[in-house]
Amino acid sequence: MTAKGVPQSKPETTSLSAPLDPSNGGDSERIRKPGDYKSGVKPVWCPGCGHYGALSAFYKAVAACGVDPKDLVIISGIGCSGRFSHFVKGYGFHVLHGRVLPVCQGIAASTKGLLVCGISGDGDALAIGGGHVPHAARRNPNMVYIVLDNSIYGLTKGQFSPTTRERTKTSTSPFGVTEGCLDPLSLFLGYNASFVARGFSANSKQLSEMLAEAIRHPGFAVVHVLSPCVTFAKHQTYDSLSERIRLLPEDFDPSNKVAAFRYAQDQEALYTGIFYRELRPTLQDHHNRAIDEARHDPSAGDFEKLLDSYV
């Protein structure tokens, strides 16, 4: 099996950041299938919820990458998206509201050989948990962060969220939302996440391929998923999204951040695809370097010298 960045078949490897290659890694003893990752817990989202498409795409992505369920960690927050970890076979942790990223970073930094995936909704990621995003991006931990954006607080019956458009009427804005909405892609790009992508839960093929690329990416990979809420978000439906969604041009260069911003901020179309990708040292790489330096320091372990340093 190969988790995000670490081939288990090579335990002597120092780096935690080697990209995942299912053709030269993964579980060579068997071919994984999407069904291998179903926990047996039946999803309880509303019929037609966009999260079903995202869950299906996730199953396909981890199968394509040959991830062993015992090496898969799913951390989910509060909200409809929080149920995600219950439906996936692996190690699941349903954490406090907005605290997905701190838990993911702790696991990713302290444990080798695991694929660490964080799942948040638009409220969990950009409201109560929004302060954690820029720091995760700058640390570049080896993990995948999936943001299921339905532009509403669905679990609590339809309050407007950070991504609900201005003037939208909801249960907490009967005269229309008076606040401007956040632009998730521009935030992730501005925070300098090393991998930024956007998909649509109704396009399972594109989304599963995108998630597989995020899994293979060494570093902080953010995938923003447009996932309609059919019960409360009447302002963001499958039809209204389908009318605006466009694929990024075939010649788009994901290393061009200026172009990424331009397509992310288009006022007419909602582009999907991989907007930005950059290879740079991960949090684990920096930790490994510090450990190696300490091991080669002749004074390491000198207790007397340590005590003298405080005098």
- 215: three-class secondary structure by DSSP: helix
What pLDDT was estimated at residue 267?
Answer: 92
H or E element that contains 154: none
**Is the pLDDT confidence value at 206 over 80?**
yes
Q: For residue 18, name the pLDDT band (cuts at 50, 70, 90).
A: very low
**pLDDT mean over 184-205:** 98
pLDDT in tens, 28-75: 467 999 999 999 999 999 999 999 999 999 999 999 999 999 999 999
Angle at 143 between CA 141 and CA 148, to 5 degrees: 125
Count of C-beta atoms within a 10 Å radius of residue 287? 14
Separation between Cα atoms, residue 233 and residue 228, nearest integer Å: 7
Provide φ and ψ at 107, rounded to 5°: -70, -45
Average per-residue pLDDT for the chain: 90
Question: Six-digit token pair at 66?
Answer: 């040959």
More confident residue, 302 or 1: 302
- Please state the pTM of the whole predicted model: 0.89
pLDDT given for residue 8 in this prediction: 33
2-283 homologous superfamily: Thiamin diphosphate (ThDP)-binding fold, Pyr/PP domains (3.40.50.970)
80-134 per-position pLDDT tens digit: 999 999 999 999 999 999 999 999 999 999 988 999 999 999 999 999 999 999 9
Helices of type H across the chain: 51-64, 100-110, 122-126, 133-139, 184-190, 204-216, 238-244, 257-264, 283-295, 303-308
- pLDDT, position 90: 96
Q: Name 218's Cβ contacts closer than 8 Å, sequence gap at least 6.
A: 4, 5, 17, 18, 19, 142, 279, 282
* Percent with pLDDT over 90 in the chain: 81
